[in-house]
Structure 1
Amino acid sequence: MSAPDLPQGDSKNGSKAGAVGSQPHLPVMLAEVLTALQPVADGIFVDGTFGAGGYTTALLEAGAAHVYAFDRDPTAIASGQALLARFPDRLTLIEGQFSNLADHLQAIHAPAPDGVVLDIGVSSMQIDNAERGFSFQKDGPLDMRMSNSGPTAADIVNQMSHGELAHVLKFLGEERQAGRIASAILKRRAKQPLETTGDLAETVTTIIPRKAKDRIHPATRTFQALRIFVNRELEELAMGLSGAEDQLKVGGRLVIVTFHSLEDRIAKTFFNTRSETRLGGSRHAPELAAIAPPSFQLKSRKALAASDAECQENPRARSAKLRVGERTEHTAFALDMAALGVPSLPGFQGLDQ
């Protein structure tokens, strides 16, 4: 999936980067994103995953008239105040989930955007802070919440049933040993609750011992699964795509950068189902079927990958895939999570944020 010992294998390396914060964050596929969005002097753009501000900064420096930047992480919004001071009349920072971007934009009467970019995954700023609990590289509280609210990963592993936990690890982590890992977690928590990232990583390695030749830590998939579940990332992605479809002006571009197969599969399905002529109606009333014209025109059927040069400079770009669609004049499709391939997962009391 990605570089050795990465906690999820899909980090953006703080990929919203450079201008905000002290770390040398590198925006992933920045040149390709700008080419796809085609920022112009009178353009309105939405950065649904602000992070450290890399894409937003580049759009503003390229002459975009205004950028509406979202992030559910309050620390990212706080870090963005320096950029806001630099572009006070051209930047709006919004603390909120990009799944609700349509509601947010309508509430502030924002113009229909010329482009929306969504860079999916966890940022290096979150990984590098041990207190956020995203990584097993540094021991910290088993948290993983992007928004700092709602149940933590510790709540999940200490309270979920064996079957539910195994289901989450299998489908969101694509972990072949999901059942055995779930059993080990239940055995461990019967003695003492799992409280730290180290507790969880150690438990996983009792089932999958680490070998010297391993490029990826055995706990990578488990951490990925829990992070995605805690933050409802796949549901967020599907809702964000639908919201962008609803808000984009005719000719506007939707750009998605993903970092692992689960996300890319949803993005690919979204664009494919909306770029072909589809029949409406149902099998129960085929005679009432009507043509549903495409809401997007694809710039390419294949996803773009990062260049070899970028992958050499930033190894975390190796798993990145970029997809682009251009909005047509036709009506947006209704959101159907199952049709987009969002898996049905167990609920967890209090998970709604």
Structure 2
Amino acid sequence: MNAPLVHTTVLLHEAVEALLGGPLGARGCFVDGTFGRGGHSRRVLAQLDAGARLIAFDKDPQAVAEARRIQAEDPRLEICHEGFRHLDELPAGSASGVLLDLGVSSPQIDEAERGFSFRFDGPLDMRMDPTRGQSVADWLATAEMGAIAEVIRDYGEERFAGPIAKAIVARREKQGALARTAELADLVAGAVKTREPGQHPATRTFQAFRIYINAELEELRQALSASLKVLAPGGRLVVISFHSLEDRIVKQFIAEHSKEVYDRRAPFAQPAPMRLVALARVKPGAAEVAANPRARSAVMRVAERTGVPA
């Protein structure tokens, strides 16, 4: 019998401390936009005031099932089987804090049937919600070479995007479409001539396809914009990123809204006030990275919604 897959939450203490450490404290309504396996949510619930509540979002049916087990014991938790772009559906100014942990959970990566990892042979899927949308295998079966190369280059920052895309299409024409993660990993390894020490040649390609098939960057932009609407004055925005594409979006978003905006068409008008105050950029400590190597690339950014708390 296989042991249950366990997820170690990155920056657990730091994230929850930042989320609940604002002027609003542990009162009101908080949002965990990426429930995962509930590491952050459990700790938030343990520290929330009795009358507070936590709304969690997740696309993954397994994550939703885990959240419902917690909800049965703690009705302050509400779970939504949706991605965090649906933050926009919450009432304006209703949230005391929003937490987004953008990492893929260990059970998702380590379960071969989900198709996220080149380390295990499984169906080439990679959908966060396997009940909706198109799998990577389905997309690669018909996608044009230029589109495949663009995804690998833009979302994987892979300099061998062209040769990899060419190899995928050639394989499709000769032997049929790719269907397994091992097939893709072997094909990419043959097309990538050099790679950083200690990194599998398919790392960037798998990242690119996962980001694309789940529209992760587009959803992140939508959720960040929605957070400005739903956060109450004094509410905290806490985002944990795991690669440079995500972190760049978060960094630029906070910077954009942490300054007054002047209308060049009306130079004498009062500027629009800044909407966020950047508070912190946090990296995992050496001890956490040693205990959980997946934490090494994590970056947490914290900002606070401007205004006078109620």
Partner of 2:79: 93
Q: Deviations over 1:201-254 (max 9, x none)?
A: 11101112588x831100000000000000000001010111111100000000
How far is the alpha carbon of 1:41 from its aligned partner? Answer: 4.7
Partner of 1:304: 282
Of stretches 172-181 and 141-150 in structure 1, the one that deviates more from structure 2 is: 141-150
How far is the alpha carbon of 1:97 from its aligned partner? Answer: 1.1
Partner of 2:249: 266
Counterparts of 1:42 and 1:278, CA distance in 2:
31
Structure 2 counterpart of 1:299, which letter?
Answer: L
Return the match for 1:329 from 272, 295, 307.
Answer: 307
How far is the alpha carbon of 1:122 from its aligned partner? Answer: 1.5
Length, aligned pairs only: 299
Counterparts of 2:294 and 2:36, CA distance in 1:
16
Structure 2 counterpart of 1:273, which letter?
Answer: E
How far is the alpha carbon of 1:42 from its aligned partner? Answer: 2.7
Q: Deviations over 1:107-137 (max 9, x none)?
A: xxx9711111000132111111111111111
Which sections of structure 2, spanning at least 5 residues, go unmatched? none
Question: Counterpart of 1:292 in 2: which secondary structure?
Answer: coil
How does 1:77-116 map onto structure 2 within 5 Å? 77-88=64-75, 90-103=76-89, 105-106=90-91, 112-116=94-98
Counterparts of 1:163 and 1:318, CA distance in 2:
33
How does 1:51-90 map onto structure 2 within 5 Å? 51-64=36-49, 65-88=52-75, 90=76
Counterparts of 1:221 and 1:286, CA distance in 2:
46
Asked if the contact 1:210/1:217 (under 8 Å) is kept, the reply is no
Question: Does 2:239 match 1:256?
Answer: yes
How does 1:150-169 map onto structure 2 within 5 Å? 150-169=133-152
Structure 1 counterpart of 2:181, which letter?
Answer: T
Counterparts of 2:255 and 2:16, CA distance in 1:
23
Asked if the contact 1:27/1:55 (under 8 Å) is kept, the reply is yes
How far is the alpha carbon of 1:310 from its aligned partner? Answer: 0.7
Structure 2 counterpart of 1:326, which letter?
Answer: E
Question: Counterpart of 1:252 in 2: which secondary structure?
Answer: strand
TM-score of the two chains, using structure 1 as the length reference: 0.80
Partner of 1:143: 125
Partner of 1:295: 275
Counterparts of 1:311 and 1:157, CA distance in 2:
35
Alpha-carbon spacing, 1:41–1:237, altered in 2? closer, same or farther (3 Å): closer
Structure 2 counterpart of 1:79, which letter?
Answer: E
Partner of 1:316: 294
How far is the alpha carbon of 1:286 from its aligned partner? Answer: 5.9
How far is the alpha carbon of 1:327 from its aligned partner? Answer: 0.3
Partner of 2:12: 30
Counterparts of 1:280 and 1:324, CA distance in 2:
27
Counterparts of 1:296 and 1:280, CA distance in 2:
19
Counterparts of 1:94 and 1:200, CA distance in 2:
33
Partner of 1:45: 30
Asked if the contact 1:162/1:183 (under 8 Å) is kept, the reply is yes
Asked if the contact 2:93/2:233 (under 8 Å) is kept, the reply is no
TM-score of the two chains, using structure 2 as the length reference: 0.91
How far is the alpha carbon of 1:22 from its aligned partner? Answer: 4.1
How far is the alpha carbon of 1:165 from its aligned partner? Answer: 0.9
CA RMSD of aligned residues (A): 2.0
